[in-house]
Amino acid sequence: MEPLVVLDNVNKHFGELHVLKEISTTVGRGEVVVVIGPSGSGKSTLCRAINRLETIDNGTITIDGKQLPSEGAELAKLRADVGMVFQSFNLFAHKTVLENVTLGPIKVRRKSRQEAEKRAMELLERVGVANQAKKMPAQLSGGQQQRVAIARALAMDPKLMLFDEPTSALDPEMINEVLDVITGLAKDGMTMIVVTHEMGFARKVADRLLFMADGRIVEDATPTDFFDHPASDRAKDFLSKILTH
Amino acid sequence: MEVILDNLPLYLRGFGMTLYLLGLTVLFALPLGALVAALRISPVPSLRVVAAVYTEWLRNTPLTLVFFFIAFVLPRIGARLDYEIGAVVALTLYTAPFFAEAIRSGVNAVPVGQAEAARSIGLTFGQTLGNVILPQALRGVVPPLINVTIALTKNTSVATGFFVFTLVSTGQRLANQNGDQVIPILLGVAFFYLVITIPLGQFADRLEERVVVNR
Ligand SMILES: Nc1ncnc2c1ncn2[C@@H]1O[C@H](COP(=O)(O)OP(=O)(O)OP(=O)(O)O)[C@@H](O)[C@H]1O
Ligand SMILES: [Mg+2]
């Protein structure tokens, strides 16, 4: 498989705390990688480092053959190609749903407003919230907001989508509507890295599963292998805890 | 009452000077305050320190002392300023940190997730500030900026002690000439201050209500 994201020996500290320890992995084009692990194991930090919302101490992160630039216009350009969906949605509070989706295409991709709006409506249709286009984010349910956030990221035609616990802030009855959208993207061949606690979803969509603990990738396996034959004690322990309730 | 109407030109002279000091000071202190606020949130530590020292120093110094410095110390080292310009300089140096703090608190009130989302769709630092952060910060920032302006309106009176003819000078001169009518004279002075400050305060209140509704 052609590599799209390559992490090589990445380290990251927060002060004394060593949160990413010698992380090396490759995500191929079209691959869906799900990251799981206990709280504080560094999953969010990993996701954010790939988009350089977090700096790294050493090692390299390469996306589509280009190493992450440190700052400035080059970095902005690279970020435009990487979609990010946050646990807390982070829709622009002062803009309508439609404006949330068109801002990037207009300002970054230099599309005309008309063109950007046409594409935005298609994407809002696809995630099932086209009828909310004129509303403000605060008027939408959490599930609807998260689907808008996905449309906002897709509007940039990203090469890669990062999801950091996209359903953790949602009421249970809204989780599936968001997971369904993500599953649809996976079927369409989008390259994705998804941090999640939804094990059923992980088993269903993941091509590969990374299990993180204490800042390390402890297991790198297919979902079937991981869930049926976890190799490490850490993974067995983790699975026993989440599968008992 | 009569003493006010009879001396209306003198009142208007003081009022005009007060407005002049207020207008020019806002004109200079607002951009200076915005610059100081930008420095204070900038990623460069040394710039943050410079801005913080300036802000804390000026905010904790009596305005009169700032005036003394401009009026008596600057000429000693060869910089002679016209009294009115000196007053504007003193008021600007003193007021800018208050503007800066109002702007900074407004920017800080915008959740970090907003900036992260903006950066993650590829907006540059400037675009993020201009399209996402400042529009959200502004709603909360205007009322405190107006409150600083109201305080500034009253602070212009300090220039009276430094040879600038303000509304308070009007009151002093008239009170000296008409010792029996001090109370109406001073009420007249107060009235002209209120002509500036009350509309400003109401404007701030109105904006504050709108912000509450918008949330
Ligand atoms: N900005 C920060 N400053 C200091 N420490 C941080 C910061 N962000 C995260 N950490 C710490 O780094 C470690 C890894 O955090 P991270 O958020 O990546 O974990 P996570 O695996 O995403 O956990 P969760 O499942 O709870 O989201 C944690 O111990 C956390 O407390
Ligand atoms: Mg996390």
Instruction: Note whether B14 and B166 are within 8 A (CB).
Output: yes
Chain A residues inside the 8 Å CB shell of B127: 107-108
- Give the closest residue (by CA) to ligand 1 atom 4: A14
pTM of the model: 0.81
pLDDT digits (tens, 9 = 90+) for B48-75: 999 999 999 999 999 999 999 888 887 7
Q: Which CATH number fits the domain that encloses residue B197?
A: 1.10.3720.10
Q: Mean pLDDT, to the nearest integer, of A11-37?
A: 96
For residue A155, with 0-12 CB atoms within 10 Å meaning exposed, 13-18 middle and 19 or more buried, which class applies? Answer: buried
Which residues lie at CB < 5 A from ion ligand 2? Answer: A 44
pLDDT for the residue numbered B6:
86
Express each pLDDT in A88-130 by its tens digit: 999 999 999 999 999 999 999 999 999 999 999 999 999 999 9
CA neighbor of A192 nearest in space, from A221, A163, A212 = A163
Which chain B residues are within 8 Å of A103, Cβ to Cβ?
121, 123, 131
Find the residues whose C-beta lies inside 6 A of ligand 1: A 14, 17, 19, 37, 39-45
Q: Is A245's pLDDT higher than 60?
A: no
Query: B186: domain range?
Result: 2-214
- pLDDT per residue as tens digits for the range B110-162: 999 999 999 999 998 889 988 999 889 887 888 899 999 999 999 999 999 88
Average pLDDT, chain A: 94
Residue B125, pLDDT score: 81
How high is the pLDDT of residue B210?
A: 67
Per-residue pLDDT at B49: 96
A82 touches chain B (CB under 8 A): yes
Alpha carbon B159 to its chain's center: 14
Q: Cβ contact (<8 Å) for B118 and A156?
A: no
The Cα A54–Cα A175 span in angstroms is: 27
User: Which of A60-74, A214-228, B130-144 reaches the highest mean pLDDT?
Assistant: A214-228
Contact B82, B90 (CB under 8 A): no
B121 to A51: CB separation less than 8 angstroms, yes or no: no
Residue contact B114–A90, C-beta within 8 A: yes
B160-169 pLDDT, tens digit per residue, is 988 899 999 9
User: What mean pLDDT do residues A197-221 have?
Assistant: 95
**Length of chain B, please?**
215
Rounded to the nearest angstrom, the distance between the alpha carbon of A87 and the centre of ligand 2 is 8
A207 CB-side CA count, 13 A: 16
Whether A107 and B215 lie within 8 Å, measured CB to CB:
no
Q: Tell me how far apart the alpha carbons of residues B11 and A187 are, in angstroms, rounded to a whole number.
A: 78
pLDDT of residue A72 exceeding 80: no
Question: Which among A175, A170, A168, A211 has a CA at the least distance from the CA of A46?
Answer: A211
- List the residue whose alpha carbon is closest to atom 6 of ligand 1: A14
DSSP state of A232: S
pLDDT greater than 90 at residue A28: yes
DSSP secondary-structure letter at A26?
A: E
Our count of domains for chain B comes to 1
Q: For a pLDDT cut of 90, what percent of chain A falls above it?
A: 90
Please give the residue that has the higher pLDDT: either B44 or A189. Answer: A189
Give the SS3 label for residue A184.
Answer: helix
Segment among A18-27, A150-159, B78-87 with least mean pLDDT: B78-87
Instruction: Specify the pLDDT at position A244.
Output: 63
Query: What is the residue-averaged pLDDT of chain B?
Result: 89
Backbone torsions φ then ψ of B110, nearest 5 degrees: -80, 125
Query: Under an 8 A CB cutoff, do B122 and A90 touch?
Result: no
Residue B65's closest CA among B155, B138, B143? B155
Residues in A touching B139 (Cβ below 8 Å): 94
Measured in angstroms, how far is the CA atom of residue A19 from the centroid of ligand 1?
Answer: 7
pLDDT at residue number B215: 45
Whole-angstrom distance, CA of residue A27 vs CA of residue A7:
9
